[in-house]
Amino acid sequence: MGAWLGLVAGLVLVVAGADALVRGAARAAAAFGVPPLLVGLTVVAYGTSAPELAVSLSAGASARPELALANLVGSNVFNVLVILGLAALFAPIAASADVVRREIPFMLLVTVGAMVLGADAVFGRGDGLLLLAGLAALTAGQVRAARRAARGAARGAAHVRRDRHAHQSVAEPGRGRGLVRDALLVVTGLTGLVIGAGWLVDAAVTIALDLGVSEVVVGLTIVAAGTSLPELATSVVAALRGQRDLAIGNVVGSNVFNLVGILGLASLTAPSGLPVASQVLALDAWVALGAAALLLPLARSGGALVRWEGAVLVVAYAVYLAAVVAIALGRLDVPAVAVGAAIAALPLLAAAVAIVRRPRRARPR
């Protein structure tokens, strides 16, 4: 009974924390003139990846280093197929030009790079240093983007002060109090997300092991999905609140941070590096790459992920989940790479249909 109570309590805390985080981050972004996409790619994405960081570092330093990589790969698959799929079911998610042109291709590049580094079946310290160098370069680029946004906001603020000097001087103290409130919301939300996700994952793993499910299945499914719950709650709440750049930016930013930041740190701290299981090389990594590649054509097909496309993403994850369980239990004889190709083909085919058909529906009369 204790594990089930922990499951419910963790879920409640995750949802409440996501709501606080989205409200605080969106208001702070508006106050500083920073685009919500940038906030989603940085503060929100890195904050909601804290459970993956804790689990992967702990697993890498313990006797179960395979769990560290399985958690990250499984989380990246879950982030795209389930989180964006469910968020699109609640409200269509518009993909901004920056996401389509720069962020999604970068996520693809990072995924391919991680697969190349792991092709020798281990992530060593050299691989970890290379990944962390990529994180440093990414952060530097995001800081430059933030500075450009801040300069634009400052010019806009100067224009407003010239036009409404009296009103601005009175409103400034209120703005300061609002920023403190927003910062408290962000900190409170992140704290709730991390604690709630920890409770939920611990409870889910206990329940799964009590039911006799193998640790391989637990690592690729329950742990990966559980540590992604902050991203799930944050993106769904953001979509419902109309912060759709924040919703997709959170997922893309989290996936990139998982591979360059968390994987890099775990590779450095693991005593003998992180071994790459044969199933991850043959199936899970390819599904993660296919899911990342899927975002580009879906986002380009009309500039949004609509509800039926979200349903396709969720169904694709259900097929992947069934394949993982069947392979782990020895009930699937089809080579894992063939299963991965089939899983990737279904949503990619649906995306191709969307690209062909949607322009005809949108053509002006």
Structural domains of the chain, with CATH: 2-276 (1.20.1420.30)
**Rounded Cα distance, 79 and 75, in Å:** 6
Each residue's pLDDT tens digit, 104-163: 888 889 999 999 999 998 999 999 999 999 888 887 877 676 667 656 655 655 554 455
Identify the residue with better confidence: 221 or 215.
221
**Rounded Cα distance, 94 and 244, in Å:** 6
Identify the residue with better confidence: 280 or 173.
280
275 DSSP β-pair partners: 122
**Rounded Cα distance, 299 and 341, in Å:** 21
Per-residue tokens: 13: 């805390």
169 has pLDDT over 50: no
Reduce the DSSP state of residue 304 to 3 states and report it.
Answer: strand
Q: From residue 10, how far is each of 15, 50, 198, 200, 230 by CA, in Å? A: 9, 15, 7, 5, 11
pTM of the full predicted structure? Answer: 0.76
Each residue's pLDDT tens digit, 312-353: 889 889 988 888 888 777 776 656 556 666 666 666 666 565
Q: Which of 147-161, 217-231, 264-278 is predicted least confidently?
A: 147-161
Residue 15 and residue 233 in contact, taking contact as beta carbons nearer than 8 Å: yes
Each residue's pLDDT tens digit, 20-75: 877 787 777 767 766 666 676 667 777 777 777 777 777 777 667 777 888 899 99
Q: Identify the residue whose tokens are 């690592």.
A: 219
Per-residue exposure over 294-320, b if at least 16 CB sit within 10 Å of its own CB, e if not? bbbebbbbbebbbeebbebbbebbebb
Host H or E run for residue 274: strand 274-275
pLDDT for 127: 94
- Average pLDDT, rounded, for the chain: 76
pLDDT for 140: 81
Q: What percent of the chain has pLDDT over 90?
A: 13
User: CA 121: distance to chain centroid?
Assistant: 25
Reduce the DSSP state of residue 57 to 3 states and report it.
Answer: helix
**Rounded Cα distance, 132 and 116, in Å:** 16
pLDDT for 363: 44
Each residue's pLDDT tens digit, 69-118: 888 999 999 999 999 888 888 887 776 666 667 778 888 899 999 999 99
For residues 7-23, give the mean pLDDT: 78
pLDDT for 110: 92
